[in-house]
Chain A
Amino acid sequence: MNEVITEEKSESDTQFEPKILGFLCNWCSYAGADLAGVSRNQYPSNIRVVRLMCSGRVDPVFVMDALIKGVDGVLILGCHFGDCHYGDGNYEANINYEMLNLLLKNVNIDNRVEINWVSAAEGTYFAKIVTDFTDKIRSLGPSPMAKINTPKDLLLKMKAIKQVVYDPRVRKLVGRERKITESGNVYNEKIDKGDFILLLKDALNAEYIRNQILLHLNEEPGSVKVVSEKMKMDTTTIFEHFLVLQQRGIIDVLEIKGFSPIYTVI
Chain B
Amino acid sequence: MLELRGIAAGYGRAAVLEGVEIEVKAGEIVALIGANGAGKSTLMKTVSGLVPVRAGEIRFDGRRIDALSSAKRVALGISHVPEGRQIFAGLSVEQNLRLGGYADASGVSAERLRRICAPFPMLLERLAEPAANLSGGQQQMLAICRGLMGNPRLLMLDEPSLGLSPLLVGEIFRVIAELRAQNLAILLSEQNARQSLAIADRGYVIETGRIVLAGAAADLFANPELAEKYFGVGVSVDAASSAGQAERLKAILAT
Whether chains A and B associate is no
- Which B residues are closer than 8 A to A by beta carbons? none
Give the interface of A toward B (CB within 8 A): none
